[in-house]
Amino acid sequence: MRAVVVTEPGADFEVVERDVPDPGPDEVRVAVDACGICHSDSYVKAGGFPGLEYPRVPGHEVAGHVDSVGENVTAWSEGDRVGAGWHGGHCFTCDPCRRGQFLQCENAEITGLTFDGGYAEYATVPAEALARIPDDLDAVDAAPLLCAGVTTFNALRNSGAQPGDLVAVQGIGGLGHLGLQYAHAAGFETVALSRSPDKRDLALELGADHFVDASAEDAADALQELGGARVVLGTAPSASAIESVVGGLGIDGELVVVGVPHEAAEIDVQQLVMSRSAVEGWASGHARDSQDTLEFSALRDVTPTVETYPLEEAEAAYDRMMENEARFRAVLEP
């Protein structure tokens, strides 16, 4: 098979030939139909993730079909359409696992980091890490939903927002363009917050009821004029952007951050106290969360905007994503 590998931190992607891997007793071999490129793949490309071993095949937005199953696997059969996201398996025995918090497993595996991922024609994945892909959802569309999709969908459905509440999505990019669609489909009064006024028409097409040009007006003031946000989904990885919307939260409002900035954000605690509001973070989800995301997306026709590339162009696709030039997700088709 062909696979894209990183041989050491900072090295270029290399397309190599490898033996097709055999699944272990509790694993499934997936024939990869599509694999999304995510900013978190930089952990492999640049290094810095604890315990990461090289060479490594990146990719944690894997959509494909079951090619072979291990001897202990009964939940999956050859031909099943499946996907694997960031959460690549759990131990079942640590305290978070015993409480059903599989994403917080103390011994969690991560697809494309602790084992080889989807920048390849085949990948082996622990059986418990797989989500079923609906028949009417294309693999190229499904792949980004296994990271960007589940992150935004899961964050919104686990917030305190109810249908009709004012929900703002900050940033209209790889995460935000999906968050807008989910917010609209969930019945929220949806606000798009962006510093790019040229994204107004797109935001409205994706389901926004209001567009706030944060480069021309104060985003917090604009949200308060609309009644105060029950939830702001922070997808822009910018500390200043995060700081700018705290004042726009309504009573018991939540700023749910899913885009992680490199620098620390300074929060006005008095604003939180006076409005009984909160700033919190959210990380993607486990396999069942991913499957819920895929099923909801198919039901409500939520799809990512993608650019597709062959394996040989992984470097160029990765660079476009890192330089924020991709619109809005880059997907490899092995």
The residues, any chain, with a CB within 8 Å of residue 162's CB and separated by 6 or more, are 230
- Give yes or no for residue 44 having a pLDDT over 90: yes
pLDDT tens-place string over residues 196-233: 999 999 999 999 999 999 999 999 999 999 999 999 99
308: phi then psi, degrees, rounded to nearest 5: -110, 150
DSSP string, 162-184: -TTSEEEEE--STTHHHHHHHHH
Cis peptide bond prior to 188, omega within 30° of 0: no
For the full predicted model, state whether its pTM sits above 0.95: yes
Give the residue from 178, 150, 133, 176 showing the smallest Cα distance to 285: 150
What local confidence, expressed as pLDDT, does residue 50 receive?
87
> In this predicted model, what pLDDT tens digit does every residue of 128-176 receive, in sequence order?
999 999 999 999 999 999 999 999 999 999 999 999 999 999 999 999 9
The answer to whether residue 48 scores a pLDDT higher than 90 is no
pLDDT over 90 (residue 270) = yes
Q: Which percentage of the chain shows pLDDT scores above 70?
A: 100
Q: Residue 10 carries which side chain, given as an amino acid letter?
A: G
- CA–CA dist 18, 2 (Å, integer): 6
Give the neighbor-by-neighbor strand order of the sheet with 249-257.
210-213, 189-194, 166-170, 229-234, 249-257, 278-281
CA-CA distance, 125 to 111, in Å (whole number)? 8
CA distances from 218 to 245, 259, 275 (A): 9, 20, 18
H/E/C letters for each residue in 34-94?
A: EEEECHHHHHHHHCCCCCCCCCECCCCCEEEEEEEECCCCCCCCCCCEEEECCECCCCCCC
Q: By C-alpha distance, which of 252, 244, 246, 93 is closest to 162? A: 252
Evaluate whether 112 touches 251 at the Cβ level (below 8 Å).
no
> Is residue 271 within 8 Å of residue 247, measured between CB atoms?
yes
Mean pLDDT value of segment 299-317:
98
Identity of the amino acid at 162: Q
